């Protein structure tokens, strides 16, 4: 199949170009990129793309699947469909399934069954984004510890051989002796290692970031030091051992400072924050909407400002989605009792574009870098430039299309988002991968 995208705005973070041109795609490859393309075959599908944006495919560093164990929240199939509808061409799943991804048999099962069941014909989105011709490439994070108990390491070599992308629990590891051994044992394997830095003792029963807003709202505060103390400890271990690490879910201004200092000293560290931490701060929690109950919690205004600056400067390398589906019953609780997390695969690009690019705070290239090639680099991967003879791993985005967020318009099986029922501007038209 040959397609000609006419006068599309190309955002290419690899070559750092932002231009308007024609793009010819044939049999999964980019055939030509030029100011105007007229030499095409008779069967070429021509699309007028004025006002649309073509960028390299988006990469999500970490999200959660309900399958296996909690298929009522999400299946692998529905997750991949949601990712494709959100513009993602690569997605990486955390190992907190049931059973967890802590042995090769679970890895094999998930990769072999990744196209199994979805919503079914009766409950598919009523007016979804047009389906992508290919679902995203699925990768799995292997668990660092068995059952996330933080006491016994998994069989790293066996998991690595089974095809996991890297190792991460997605839970805070507080046993520094164990973390040291993990860094030593994993160093020869050369796989990415991701840690969520959180000291549960310092966090205590906190459910939102500690500060004036937590006092005003009467909710237990989670102090910033529960994150920063854990990051500082991890960075000391990295300095001593030298194993590269990725720091997940960065959420405080002080964390950005610590990571900047570590990078300036040459430590092999990358970092990511989540998309919602770049959009919202503690003030929105006055609604007590349980979809705003996150781990780590939303930051104060100063945290939000520092995170945005950190992403623009590359101190925080990537924006992760951390898509965390929950059922209606799991979220209809008191704020402090609700399970933490929110969905985001189908919402992140439109909202980030609206809040950050349309406002003029980020350039289109700055946002696309943090969602595409830089997350790939954190995993030791590369994205291709949007250029002739390169594979077509692309996202076509309409920044002007309006649509309503509801269960009928989403591929994900869950609807735990503070934007439920709201009208959004911006939607993915198609992906190639």
Using alpha carbons, list the distances in angstroms from residue 364 to 16, 61, 431: 10, 20, 18
* Residue 375 contacts residue 369 (beta carbons within 8 Å): no
Running DSSP on this structure, what letter comes out for residue 131?
Answer: P
Q: Could you give the CA distance from residue 379 to residue 364 in angstroms, rounded to a whole number?
A: 23
- Torsion sign over Cα 256, 295, 187, 192: negative
Query: Is 322 a catalytic site residue?
Result: yes
CA 422 to CA 404: how far, in whole Å?
6
* CA-to-CA separations, 306 to 44, 162, 192, 273, 313, in angstroms, rounded: 47, 39, 26, 11, 10
Distances 138 to 104, 166, 265 between C-alpha atoms, Å:
16, 13, 34
Angle ∠(18,24,29) on CA atoms, nearest 5 = 95
- The partner residues of 274 in beta bridges, in order of sequence, read 320
DSSP 211: S
Candidate list 169, 281, 303, 322, residue with the active-site label: 322
256 within 8 A of 316, measured Cβ to Cβ:
yes
> 131 exposed, middle or buried (CB, 10 Å; 0-12, 13-18, 19+)?
middle
Q: What are phi and psi of 83, to 5 degrees?
A: -65, -45
CA neighbor of 103 nearest in space, from 66, 152, 154: 154
Distance from the Cα of residue 356 to its chain's centroid: 17
Whole-number Å distance between alpha carbons of 235 and 229: 10
Question: What whole-number distance in Å separates Cα of residue 1 and Cα of residue 432?
Answer: 12
Active site residues: 322
């Amino acid at each position: 199949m040959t397609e000609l995208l006419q006068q599309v705005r190309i955002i290419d973070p690899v070559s750092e170009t932002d231009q308007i041109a024609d793009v010819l795609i044939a049999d999964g490859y980019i055939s030509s990129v030029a100011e105007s393309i007229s030499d095409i075959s008779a069967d070429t599908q021509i699309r007028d793309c004025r006002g649309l944006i073509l960028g390299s495919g988006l990469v999500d560093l970490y999200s959660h699947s309900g399958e296996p164990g909690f298929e009522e929240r999400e299946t692998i199939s529905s997750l991949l469909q949601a990712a494709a509808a959100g513009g993602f061409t690569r997605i990486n799943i955390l190992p907190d399934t049931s059973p967890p991804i802590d042995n090769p048999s679970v890895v094999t099962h998930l990769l072999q069954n990744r196209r199994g069941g979805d919503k079914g014909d009766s409950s598919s989105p009523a007016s979804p984004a047009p389906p992508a011709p290919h679902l995203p490439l699925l990768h799995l994070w292997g668990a660092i510890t068995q059952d996330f108990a933080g006491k016994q390491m998994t069989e790293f070599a066996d998991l690595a051989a089974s095809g996991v992308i890297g190792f991460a629990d997605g839970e805070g590891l507080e046993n520094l002796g164990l973390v040291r051994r993990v860094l030593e044992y994993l160093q020869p394997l050369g796989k990415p290692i991701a840690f969520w830095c959180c000291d549960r003792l310092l966090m205590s029963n906190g459910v939102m970031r500690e500060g004036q807003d937590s006092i005003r709202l009467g909710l237990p505060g989670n102090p910033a030091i529960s994150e920063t103390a854990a990051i500082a400890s991890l960075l000391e271990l990295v300095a001593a051992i030298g194993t590269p690490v990725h720091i997940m879910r960065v959420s405080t201004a002080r964390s950005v400072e610590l990571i900047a200092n570590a990078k300036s000293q040459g430590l092999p560290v990358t970092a990511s924050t989540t998309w919602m931490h770049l959009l919202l701060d503690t003030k929105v929690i006055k609604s007590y909407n349980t979809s705003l109950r996150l781990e780590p919690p939303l930051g104060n205004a100063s945290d939000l400002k520092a995170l945005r600056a950190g992403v623009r400067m590359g101190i925080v390398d990537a924006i992760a989605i951390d898509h965390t589906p929950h059922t209606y019953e799991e979220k209809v609780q008191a704020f402090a009792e609700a399970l933490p997390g929110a969905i985001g695969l189908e919402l992140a690009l439109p909202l980030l574009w609206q809040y950050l690019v349309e406002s003029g705070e980020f350039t289109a290239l700055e946002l696309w870098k943090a969602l595409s090639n830089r997350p790939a680099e954190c995993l030791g991967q590369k994205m291709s430039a949007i250029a002739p003879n390169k594979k077509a791993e692309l996202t076509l985005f309409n920044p002007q299309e309006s649509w309503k967020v509801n269960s009928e318009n989403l591929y994900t099986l869950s609807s735990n988002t503070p934007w439920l029922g709201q009208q959004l501007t911006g939607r993915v038209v198609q992906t190639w991968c």
